[in-house]
Amino acid sequence: MGRVSFLVSLLSATTCALGAEWIGEVKGDYQCKCYSDNACWPKTADWSALNATVDGKLQVAIPPGAVCHKALENSAPGNQTNAAIATYNQAACSQVQANWVNEQYLTDHPIANLWPLYTNNTCLPTDNPDALCTRGFYGEYVILATKKEHIKAGVDFAREKNLRLIIRNTGHDFMGRSTGYGSLIINTHSFKEATFSKTYSGPGNWSGSVATVGAGVQGRELYRQAFKQEPPVVIVGGECPTVGWAGGYIQGGGHGPLTSIYGMGADNVLSFEAITAAGEYVTANAEKNPDLFWALKGGGPSTFAVVTSITVKTFPEVPVAGTILNINATHTNDTKVFNEGFHIFHNLSNHYTDHGMFVYFELSTGRLHIAPFVGPRMDEAKVKSVLKPLFDALDAAKIPYDAYTRAFPTFFEFYIDMFEDEQPNQNSVVGGRLFTQKDIAERSEQISEALLFANQPVPDTAGFSVGHIVNPGYGVPVVDNAIHPKWRNASSFVITNLLMVGDEGWATKQLRNEQQTNIVGKALREAGPDGATYVNEGDLYEPNWQESYWGSNYARLLELRKKWDPTGVFYTQTTPGTENWEVIDFGTKLCKKVT
């Protein structure tokens, strides 16, 4: 969703430049990917041949809500399959409606995105079958890959035909990277195999236990399988159960409840199996393709290759204790009291991380929900001891709250009991900031105030924030990977949201983007000048994003992108090498600047 380039005239040239180096649309100063209203779009015979190559796994991309509509209209007038597709199915519609806030159901769908803003909120479930249903920003076709060969065939086809390519595992992405207008989608969700070994003899300084995890394995699935081992083991994963662990999670870096003692998810990777933009099968580890190995560990999702499996360190299970704490309208409606309570809590971020804790919290106007404080290798008495300064300060300030503490013999039992599932299909524009230990030590009051400001930065606009107090450097102070070095001194990482209904017009969506970047984001940057941002959960329009997302690692990442994907087969906004690429024409066509 470009801010300036969406104004590029819709009357620009739409002929295809058929040359040795480019097959696609020319629009003003841009050369675009090939779309269904272009003469270069693959013919029916081409799609049929691709379907045969992928063993019949190619499907028309049907939005999840289409079954509630009589037909899916094709939005591109030049599409060779322009006829509407009959889609109505009453039983399937009822199922979609019943599961519209069920993350697992949506992640199992071939193309659904858990945040519909990035689909243009098209073709939603409805009780009116006559309502209009179009593709919006969804893709045209999807390959439901079950073998590596299917992925390779899709990559090769997209590269040769100059199609926009989307790699979709779960659709769990705050930044909409699982969706792309007019694209060919490769769905890797079926790669569910995970194998465990008590010893490792491959490259890298590790001889302990490992797991090799397929691209489609999700967080809670992986935790369950790790717990079933004899003896049980743990893996660094996210707090959300539906995240595709071996996909964007690892390639963005990956934080989670055990990060303070075992580091980021990418810190623990020993080897990747992947398919490059050139369609080559590669292994990337400390000995084979070490530059790609380095880049895949935090260099950005859908940027360097399609990962099919990852070999990662596993660790012995640990006892964990934790606390849930609430301050909300049942306790006080006094804004001053609530705000003071939040200041007391968040100002102690360095204290929590100094004890190897992870803290997950949700913040909105008049509501602070901390669920939970995570104390790895702690019992109930230890957690209460660590949190005593917090409770003493709240009590001294007469801040009302409720809280309870529990202890568990293993992380897995703690995770199943004390973490809560998220609710998908909410609309918001996302931003965020990583605050360092230095930020918190020197500017904690300003940071807390900026986070409270994000609850309602402008009149008639509500905000909602999700926080993660965590320091990977506590347990793993030194690494060699692409993750921003600021993460080694992290204290609090907060995702900010400006909430929307979803049916706003284009101008309003652009306004919310501006407000997230230049009002909320500006306040966070000023409050935490030593900080950074996180590529998996950040602002798509972050100023100076190269430095903000990767710091001193960016120059090397840019060179590696030029090596491993020189023509731009892969694309996600604000990832290395995308400086000259933009989605123009009101969030539709992916194009490269040529002047």
Q: What is the pLDDT of residues 477-514, one digit of tens each?
A: 999 999 999 999 999 999 999 999 988 999 999 999 99
Which of the two residues, 6 and 414, has the higher pLDDT score? Answer: 414
Distances (CA, A) of 225 to 115, 194, 311: 28, 8, 15
Q: What is 320-551's CATH number? A: 3.40.462.20
Q: What are the residue boundaries of the structural domains of the chain, listed by start?
A: 33-189, 194-316, 320-551
The pLDDT tens digits for 81-102 are 567 899 999 999 999 999 999 9
Q: What is the pLDDT of residue 288?
A: 98
Structural tokens at position 131: 């309502």
Structural tokens at position 363: 């913040």
Mean pLDDT of 222-228: 98
Query: For the range 372-376, what are the long-range contacts, defined as Cβ-Cβ under 8 Å and sequence gap of 24 or more?
Result: 372/322, 372/323, 372/324, 372/418, 372/419, 373/322, 373/323, 373/324, 373/325, 374/257, 374/320, 374/322, 374/414, 375/320, 375/321, 375/322, 375/323, 376/257, 376/258, 376/260, 376/261, 376/318, 376/320, 376/411
Return d(Cα 112, Cα 101) in angstroms, integer: 12
Work out the percent of the chain whose per-residue pLDDT is above 90.
90
The pLDDT tens digits for 44-80 are 999 999 999 999 999 999 999 999 999 999 754 444 4
Mean pLDDT of 402-415: 98
Return d(Cα 513, Cα 501) in angstroms, integer: 14
Using the CB atoms, write b or e for 435-474: b if 16+ within 10 Å.
bbbbbbeebbebbbbbbbbbbebeeebebbbbbbbbbbbb
Q: What is the pLDDT of residue 26?
A: 80
Return d(Cα 485, Cα 437) in angstroms, integer: 13
Mean pLDDT of 418-432: 93
Which of the two residues, 28 and 451, has the higher pLDDT score? Answer: 451
Pick the CATH number of 194-316 from 1.10.1740.10, 3.30.540.10, 3.30.10.20, 3.30.465.10: 3.30.465.10
For strands 184-187 and 141-144, give the pairing.
parallel
- Has residue 4 got a pLDDT over 60? no
- Has residue 568 got a pLDDT over 50? yes
- Has residue 31 got a pLDDT over 60? yes
Return d(Cα 248, Cα 534) in angstroms, integer: 12
Query: How many angstroms separate the first and last alpha carbons of the chain?
Result: 20
- For the chain, the average pLDDT equals 93
Which of the two residues, 11 and 529, has the higher pLDDT score? Answer: 529
3-class DSSP state of 343? helix
Pick the CATH number of 33-189 from 1.10.3720.10, 3.30.43.10, 3.40.50.1100, 3.10.20.600: 3.30.43.10
Residue type, 372: P
Q: What is the pLDDT of residue 13?
A: 34
Q: Contact, 429 vs 117, CB < 8 A?
A: yes
